Structures are given as C-alpha cells and as structure tokens.
Amino acid sequence: MPEESTKLIPHIRLSERAMGEKTGWLRNNGFVISLLFFSPALYAVLFFARSVDDNRTTSWQDVFTVADPVTVLVLVIICSAAGLVLSKLSLSERYPSFFLFVSSFAISAIFWSEPEVIVDASRYFAQAKYLELYGAGFFVREWGRTIFTWTDLPVVPFFYGLIFRIFGENRLFIQIFTTLLFSLSTVLVYWTGKKLFDADSGFYAGVLFLGIPYLYSQVPLMLVDVPSMFFLLLALYSFIHALEKGTALRIAFSAIAITLAFYSKYSMWMMLSVLIVISFAFRNALPGMKTSDYRARVSAIFLASALLSGAVFIYKFDSLSEQIGLLLSYQKPGLRRWGESFVSTFFFQVHPVITFAAIYSAYAAWKKKDVRYLCVLWLVFLVIFFQIRRIRYIIMVFPMLALMASYGLQRIRQREIIRAIAFSVAAYSFAVGVFAYLPFLQKNSAANFMNAGKYLDALEIRGAEVFTAAPENSHVNPAVSVPILDLFTRKQIVYTYDLKTPVSAGKIEKSPLRFTWEYKNPPYYEMSEKTKKSSAAVVIVSDGPPGELSPEIRQMIAELNETETFDIRDEIYEYQPVVTVHYRSDDEH
C-alpha cells in the first residue's frame, strides 16, 4: 500500500467517528428538536380552527380579538425553547415537590392582575364578609338563612371569611390563598401518582398539570372551583395514605379531608365515588397486608366520614334539602343549555398532547391489566358518561387527566423524550395563558369594578353610596355587582336594594344568571345615620349606559362636581357593567 494511502487511514477513521457522533446526537436529540416545530404548528392549527372553541370565559375566538396572534406565536416559540432547555436540567428531579410548588405559584401569581370575570364571586365575597364582620359562630348559625347561599356549600366561603377576619378585607390575601391551594394541588398530583404508580409518573403528571392554560385564568378568582379541586385531591391522597399506614391519626385526617371536599361543592358528591374505586383497586398495591386489616381501615374511614358529613347535613337539613331541590329542578336541566363542547375543553383549554396521551393510556393500562389505573380513569369516565360539558364543573377532574396522560407517556422508553414532551406542553400553555388569555381578561368589562375600586381608594373620602340601574330586558341584575365593587375597595360601601326588576318572571326562571335576580342585600350595606354621613361619593353601577336617573339621584349628583366613568367594553359578554363615580374634589373628610 502506498505510503500516502496509509497516512489517510487515521483521518478517515476520525471522520467516521465524527460522523457517527453527529448521527448519534441527531438520533438522541432529533425528537426534542422537532418539538420546537411542533408547538408553533399546533398553535397555528388551533388558531385557524378557533371558531370551534365555545368556551364561555377564554374562547380562542374571543381571546384573539385582543391578543395579537403573531406576537403570541413568537412567544410560543421562545417559551417552548426555554421549556426544552429547562427539561435538560436536573434540579426539577432532585427537588420535585419544591420545583412543582414554586413554578406553579410563580406562574399563577402573574394572573393576580386579572379582574373578577365571573359574577358568582359576588356570592362568595358576600358570604365571607358575614364571617369577617360577625364571626364564625354567626356564619355557622345563619348560613342558609340570613346568609344568602343559592346553591353554594359553606367550606370555601368559610375559609375566605377567616382570611378576611385575620388578615383584613383585601383581595390579595384571597389570591395568595387560592394560589397556594393550586400549587399544593400540583404537588398532590405528584404525590398521588407516586403512590399509585411511581415517582416518574407522578412528577411528569405534575408538570403536565401545568399544561392546562384555562386553569391559570381561574386560580386568582374568588370562586370555589380551584379550592374544591384541592380538597378533592387532599381527600384522595389522605385516603390512600391512611389505607397504607392505618394509624388513628391518619384515618381521622382522611375523614376530615373527605368531609371538607364533600361540603366544598355539590358536584363533588358524585366525584367522591372515586374513593370506592380506590378502595378496591389500591388493594393490589399492598400485597403484604391482611385483607381483614385493609377492610377495617376502609370501613373506619368511610364510617368516620359519614358521621362527620351526616352531622353537618342534619344540622343544616332545611337549607341543604332546599338547595338540592333547586339543583334538580333548575341547574340540572339548565346544564344542557349552558354546556361547552368537549372539543373546546380537551383541545383548546387543555393542551391536545395531554388529551391524546390520556386516551392512549387507557389502551396501555388495559394491555397491562393494571387495576390501579381505574383510580385515575374513574373521574374522567364520569364526565364523559354523564356528558358534563361545563368546564367549570369539571376542573377537579383535570389532575386525574394529567395522571392519565403521564401514565401514557411512560410507555416511551427514552426518559429524555418524556421530559421534553412534558416541559414543552407546560411551556406552550404558559405562553398561551400569559400572553393571550391574560391580556384578554384584563380588557374584560369586569375590569371596570377593579379600576373603579382602585380609584375610590385614591380619593380622600371615607365611603360611597352605590346605586344600580338595569335597562329593560337586562340579562344580569346589577345589584349583584355591589359586593364585587366592595371587594376592590377599602372604602365603606352603602347600598339599598330596589326590589323592582325589569325582566319577566318566566325569563328569570330559566336564566343562567337567575341567582342575580334573587339577590338579597346584606344588612352590612344598609344605610344608617353614621354611614350616611361618611358617604362622600355616589357610585352608579349599570348594565350598559346608566340611562335616565331618578330625581333623587340627580339631586345628589348635582351637589358633586367631579365625575369619573369606567366604561371598558368587550362586546363579547351579555353583561357590560359601567361604573360612574361622582364626588366633590374640594371637600375634606
């Protein structure tokens, strides 16, 4: 062989080795790189199909009347790239609970600038304020009597009231509380998955749980949905933990957690049937335990829960039975008219990869004959079987959907690919939530209450008298907005409810916002000589422009020389509240 040829052999081998390393790198990272193209492609598909999304709060066809689609696309790409980089770091796996808690809290805190976009918050604030002013004993005694409850259960408003009483009447404290519960829910998803399957399934379920952008829009609101989700997760995890350990303390804690979930939301009653499924399916995970011991633990938890829940039910039997009658006669048939499509819920408001992975997981579990999988499948099965199509009523099911999706992804052998998918899903949803949903919600007409409340706080006054006006055939009674305004201001609010309604009784009976027309004015808003002297401003809340005012109101306004109107219009929702503030700029109070 010529000398020149032999000199080339090492160079050829080096080139082959370099080519092999390059091919191996592409083989190992090619799928991860493809995710950078998948996220913007998915975004484009959903954007052009946005007319299919019929969500009532964050429909894509509504969201992108405000958000710029090109800007969101660029941010989806940037966030997806950042998510893939984050997936390469080991910090998240070294401290999984800490990582999930901190990341979920930080993301949710961005949404604290969102207004109260759902008028149901009015009821929960009004109920909580009773406890703040009159104490826990009054709340317990008068819940369902003096305290107007509609179809609400007492647990979540009770906690809201305690927060007001201890820390003060400030929305920020409520938002910190609900965000804490959401972040703890993310951790509970991880812990539950770890108990049922393994640590990887639980951790990636926690990451995928952050891939539901709709949830971010609900966390800062003074509603019961996110807290109820937490209480259900707490009930499930504490039940499993008590079955494992069997101590009296853990059994008692499980019973308390189940009772809290039971009285957080009526839809929870059906969802708690998952405990029966767990009691059968989880037995296989504890092969070393005697059957008699296991049955004794299950019986003890169910009996203690029944005693606690039953005692409350007997004590509040009249109120609860009246509410159940209203649910059956009004809300149950109404759900058929107020529903949202599963396509909207599981492909727009939930990242589609979560949905597809969850569907595949059912096949994977059936193939493995994994009975424990029934523990996470059951709640999703109930939603589909009973055709529960209102997303707010199935928020508590989303943790199980994330666990199903993670279970399906575990069939992928390469752990790096699972990490990349999970973090890509969370990053994509973060971009959509923060840069599309949030700007839309901030420009919602409900922001008028938030802006008016801040404006009142900046005035040198001690209080304000509120009047409400509803045009003929109004869809919402503006009176229900008074507590929402009160939530956003530290000034004392005075309001006298006018019982006249411009809407027919027949229309009110079938209205999805019927509770607004059955509003009962809390006594703490009633006028007294002391509050009358402290009211140095007049606030008019109306559905649309206030129109013709009464002579009495016109006379009051005539004495005030400054006016500020908050009139953001979204032209999407039926209720378009306008808040007008009248005050004297030269008075000293």
pLDDT for res 25: 43
pLDDT for res 30: 66
Using the predicted structure, report yes or no on whether residue 3 has a pLDDT greater than 70. Answer: no
CA distance 571 to 576: 8
CA distance 28 to 24: 6
pLDDT for res 487: 98
Using the predicted structure, report yes or no on whether residue 575 has a pLDDT greater than 80. Answer: yes
β-bridge pairing 535-543 and 492-495 = unpaired
Rounded mean pLDDT of 74-93?
90
CA distance 64 to 72: 10
Q: Give DSSP secondary structure letters for 476-539.
A: S-GGGGHHHHHHT--SEEEE------SS-HHHHHH-TTHHHHT----GGGS--HHHHHHEEEEE
Sorting pLDDT into bands at 50, 70 and 90, what band is 18? very low
Span 338-380, pLDDT tens digits: 789 999 999 999 999 999 999 999 999 999 999 999 999 999 9
Q: Looking at the DSSP assignment, which residues form a beta bridge with residue 535?
A: 463
Span 165-198, pLDDT tens digits: 999 999 999 999 999 999 999 999 999 999 999 9
Sorting pLDDT into bands at 50, 70 and 90, what band is 12? very low
> What share of the chain has pLDDT > 90, as a percent?
74
Span 261-273, pLDDT tens digits: 999 999 999 999 9
Rounded mean pLDDT of 70-78?
97
Using the predicted structure, report yes or no on whether residue 532 has a pLDDT greater than 90. Answer: no
Question: pTM higher than 0.85, yes or no?
Answer: yes
Residue with tokens 């907005």: 481
The residues, any chain, with a CB within 8 Å of residue 388's CB and separated by 6 or more, are 267, 335, 382, 394
Sorting pLDDT into bands at 50, 70 and 90, what band is 534? low
Of the candidates 174, 567, 129, 206, the residue with the CA atom closest to the CA atom of residue 406: 206
pLDDT for res 22: 47
Rounded mean pLDDT of 395-403?
98
Using the predicted structure, report yes or no on whether residue 219 has a pLDDT greater than 90. Answer: yes
pLDDT for res 574: 81
Q: Is 416 left (phi over 0), alpha (psi -120 to 50) or beta?
A: alpha
pLDDT for res 117: 95
Using the predicted structure, report yes or no on whether residue 409 has a pLDDT greater than 70. Answer: yes
pLDDT for res 17: 46
**Please, are residues 382 and 365 in contact by the beta-carbon 8 Å criterion?**
no
Domain extents for the chain?
Answer: 100-119+170-414, 447-583
Q: What is the 3-state composition of the chain as percent helix, strand, coil, each rounded to the nearest 5? A: 70, 5, 25
Rounded mean pLDDT of 552-575?
88
For all residues of the chain together, what is the average pLDDT?
Answer: 91
pLDDT for res 531: 60
**Most confident listed range (79-83, 467-471, 553-557):** 79-83
Span 122-136, pLDDT tens digits: 999 999 999 999 999
Rounded mean pLDDT of 225-246?
97
Q: Is 377 left (phi over 0), alpha (psi -120 to 50) or beta?
A: alpha
Using the predicted structure, report yes or no on whether residue 298 has a pLDDT greater than 60. Answer: yes
3-state secondary structure 432-460: HHHHHHHHHHHCCCCHHHHHHHHHHHHCC
